[in-house]
């Protein structure tokens, strides 16, 4: 995932300044240590195999239009399920999720 929005999401003549993004996927991952990185504005939750691994669902924790980033390390092997929930309250919005092998 790698998105950035200004002024919300436009649908015809309607602009949605506040919205929720939900994304999920399954992937077969080679055995190894990985870094999961997420950047967001205004709130985010990340699940791996239905386990909450990043919980930043408190928009008041950050300043307006701040885009925090959090990284965690995961040992992965085989089939995994990923889910991201994102909340946007207005202004600038971003959601970026990356999974990279740790060497």
Contacts of 75 (CB under 8 A, 6+ apart): 32, 33, 34
Express each pLDDT in 1-47 by its tens digit: 899 888 888 889 988 999 999 999 999 999 999 999 999 989 999 99
CA 8, CA 70: separation in Å to the nearest integer?
23
In order of 44, 49, 57, 96, 103, the CA distances from 89 in angstroms are 12, 28, 12, 17, 37
CA 53, CA 25: separation in Å to the nearest integer?
16
Express each pLDDT in 36-79 by its tens digit: 999 998 999 999 999 999 999 998 887 766 789 999 999 999 99
């Amino acid at each position: 995932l790698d998105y950035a929005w200004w002024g919300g999401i436009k649908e015809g003549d309607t602009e949605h300044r506040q919205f929720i993004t939900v994304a999920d996927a399954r992937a077969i991952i080679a055995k190894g240590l990985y870094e999961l990185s997420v950047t967001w504005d205004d709130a985010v939750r990340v699940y791996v195999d239905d386990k909450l691994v990043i919980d930043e669902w408190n928009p008041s924790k950050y300043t307006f239009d701040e885009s925090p980033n959090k990284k965690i390390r995961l040992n992965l092997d085989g089939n995994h399920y990923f889910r991201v929930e994102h909340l946007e309250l207005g202004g600038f919005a971003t959601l970026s999720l990356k999974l990279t092998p740790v060497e």
